[in-house]
Amino acid sequence: MTADLIHLRRLGVSVVVEVSAGVPVIVHWGRELETIDRDSILSSVYLPKQPGGVDVTAPVAVVPQHGEGCFARPGLAGHRPGGRHFAPRFSQPVVEVSDYGFVFTSRDLAAELSLCCQFELRESGVLAIKATVTNNGTNRYLLDTLSITLPLPNSAEELLTLTGGWAREFSLHRQSFLHGAWTSENRTGRTSHEHPPVVWAVQANANEWHGEVWGAHLAWSGNHVLLAEVLSDGRKYLQLGELQMAGEICLEPGGSYSTPEVVATYSQNGLTPASWGFHRSVRANLPKFKNSPLRKVLLNTWEAVYFDHDEEKLKQLANLAVRVGVERFVLDDGWFAGRRSDKSSLGDWWVSPEIYPNGLAPLISHVRNLGMDFGIWVEPEMVNEDSELFRQHPDWALVSPDYEPVRSRNQLVLNLTHEPAYEYVFSKLDKLLSENEIAFVKWDMNRPHVQATLQSGAAGTHEQTLAVYKLIDQLRAVHQSVEIESCSSGGGRIDHEILRRTDRVWTSDCIDPYRRQKIQRGASMFIPNEVMGAHIGAEKAHTTGRSHSLEFRAISAVFGHLGLELDLTQCADTELELISQIVAWHKKFRGLLHTGDAVRFDCEDASQISHGVYSKDRGEALVSVVKLTETKQGEESQILRLPGLDSELKYCVIKFDSNFSASHNVGEYTGQQLSTTGLKLPLMQPETGMIFHLLSI
């Protein structure tokens, strides 16, 4: 570093930060730099005086300061009583530098605030930033926002975002980024199905393997706001932060607020290599799977029995599950209190004496004796009004007492910031896990926050989110061997912060394989395959009513954390045999599937979708190609090009047939040939697919 420039550098990426002013300014985030041309690198962010502007054009800092004359959205906004000090201006920086990061602290003596910014360029290749504001005054400071801002070069001409809805998560949307502003605001109290907190800025026409890309994700499980803006002078930036409701964050004297962590990734070689930074970041922080990444094949009972629990039927299901190779049996909703539909009993977390008169022990023992472990579904953050808990404690709901609550799915949110409610839920879950041999918990959250109100009357989503983190952390500390899945009506709560304390996510309530191909592709842009729950469902999909072959259902599931979610007792012996072959295939290759680099490919035919996994040493690969829809009559077979392999290695290519047994040897190709000439694909029917296995020779 020089006196005022800090250069953070990892393979393929450099981050240069100017630290002489009151807030750090990122002057380069992109390709790796051997040396720094100081004048050139500063000229891109420190512009000359603009006609009609203020005397000094303020840079777009990590926390832009309106008080300095920066006309980007302020990174910190708030005020003291009476509206005083609404636009703070920080100075007097103190910098503490480490090997791959630094901590920057500055103060505003007039506003009596201090600001701390933490930077780290991690081994994963991601840049991680968070900021903290502290009230050093003697009265309250009402904080409206504290966000992290990342400047972008002019060459970032397009934006890629993920959109969607329930059962349609992670749809990719692409738009130009040449003027004006794009913003996404989420007020659902979770990361949401509609607006997951991730955004990509890319060069024009960048794709999976070509062009510079800059990606940013807010690691936070509550409300958020994302912004991408082109200022009138042409400068561009991304801004990510928690969306705070009016009056939600009030800093008492000595109080502090820290932003969620922003993780940012860069590649000059397209979206797929950039995604690896996000994937490595998740893998580095997973609670249980750093040293043993392989995931057990599970069966979830939901779409097999729904609420119709019968102990003997479940034992039959378990018998067939172990026959086809399942390693974990997960009992979904319907096992507790009077829960016979979604209208009652949330909050009454004790085993139903009517359905299970001897508790869960007989079913768990049956499952364990078969060689499987046992999992269970819970929804601890919610309460039904038709429940013993609500009848005794109606004041424990996270609602405003001044208004009739807005209901969803016959349930309300339980106020976990209220200590008695928190202790009640913890004690019930602790008892459930202590008294039963449970290895896995599917943790659901099936409704958004609406007018979430603390007992103080203030907005409560921020505190509720922290309380959920605390509850999961406390349970994990006591029950360290238990794995936890984050589910929120499917993919409604998926982010890197929840994945610091959970082991997998339920990607979507929709397991229609046609939709899943696109859902999982979108999710793979910021989370790795092995954390994505991917199930083989029934022939007729529960959410869409469409029917698909078992082979197509399987090819859409085997690249993730594989599960089954269908009634095996209704399957013919031929179907059970094929499922057994599919599970065996997955187990054979999950060492690669759960540790390799996920790859996506740009298909010449828009009706096709292709993805795969490369081993880290590039000696092995699995690649899936699926035909989703019809194309024009007379279409010739297509070419699939596979960039990113070792160009010098020669690979033997095997194509698997529809029942996942080896079909035939396609041939031998160098990595260079596979990248440039590619594989010629046979003609395919809609909603069918194939898998290629590449092995270096």
As a whole number of angstroms, the distance between CA 303 and CA 311 comes to 16
| Tokens read off for 102 | 């630094």
Beta strand residue intervals within 387-452, DSSP E: 411-413, 440-443
| Tokens read off for 570 | 């209704």
- Burial, 410: exposed, middle or buried (Cβ in 10 Å; 0-12, 13-18, 19+)? middle
Strand 639-640 relative to strand 224-230: parallel, antiparallel, unpaired? Answer: unpaired
Tell me the DSSP string of 600-656: EE--SSTTEEEEEEE-TTSSEEEEEEEE-S---TTPPPPEE--TTS-TT-EEEEEEE
Residues 6+ apart with CB under 8 A from 125: 10, 11, 12, 13, 265, 266, 276, 277, 280
**332-341 long-range contacts, CB within 8 A, separation 24+:** 332/300, 332/301, 332/302, 332/377, 332/442, 333/302, 333/307, 333/377, 333/379, 333/444, 334/305, 334/306, 334/307, 334/308, 334/309, 335/309, 335/360, 335/376, 335/377, 337/387, 337/388, 339/307, 340/307, 341/307
The answer to whether residue 144 is catalytic is no
Strand 650-656 relative to strand 639-640: parallel, antiparallel, unpaired? Answer: unpaired
- Burial, 348: exposed, middle or buried (Cβ in 10 Å; 0-12, 13-18, 19+)? buried
Sign of the Cα torsion 548, 551, 552, 556 reads positive
As a whole number of angstroms, the distance between CA 83 and CA 138 comes to 15
As a whole number of angstroms, the distance between CA 578 and CA 323 comes to 12
Contact of 486 with 443, CB cutoff 8 Å: yes
| Selection from 435, 300, 472 nearest residue 372 by Cα | 300
Q: What is the 3-state secondary structure (H, E, C) of 535-602?
A: EEECCECCCCCCECCHHHHHHCCCCCEEEEECCHHHCCHHHHHHHHHHHHHHHHHHHHHCCCEEEEEC
Strand 608-614 relative to strand 597-601: parallel, antiparallel, unpaired? Answer: antiparallel
The answer to whether residue 108 is catalytic is no
DSSP helix/strand/coil, 448: coil
- Burial, 46: exposed, middle or buried (Cβ in 10 Å; 0-12, 13-18, 19+)? middle
The H or E element spanning position 391 is helix 388-392
Q: What amino acid is encoded at 190 in this protein?
A: R
As a whole number of angstroms, the distance between CA 78 and CA 85 comes to 8
Residues in a beta bridge with 639: 680
DSSP helix/strand/coil, 96: strand
Q: What amino acid is encoded at 497 in this protein?
A: E
Residues in a beta bridge with 114: 107, 134
348, 373, 509, 512: the active-site residue:
509
Torsion region of 662: left, alpha or beta (phi above 0 gives left; psi -120 to 50 gives alpha): beta
108, 348, 444, 597: the active-site residue:
444
Rg of the chain, C-alpha, whole Å: 26
As a whole number of angstroms, the distance between CA 211 and CA 276 comes to 15
Tell me the DSSP string of 189-247: SSS-SS--SEEEEE-TT--SSSB-EEEEEEE-SS-EEEEEEE-TTS-EEEEEEE---TT
Angle among Cα 94, 69, 20 to the nearest 5 degrees reads 20
Residues tagged active-site: 444, 509
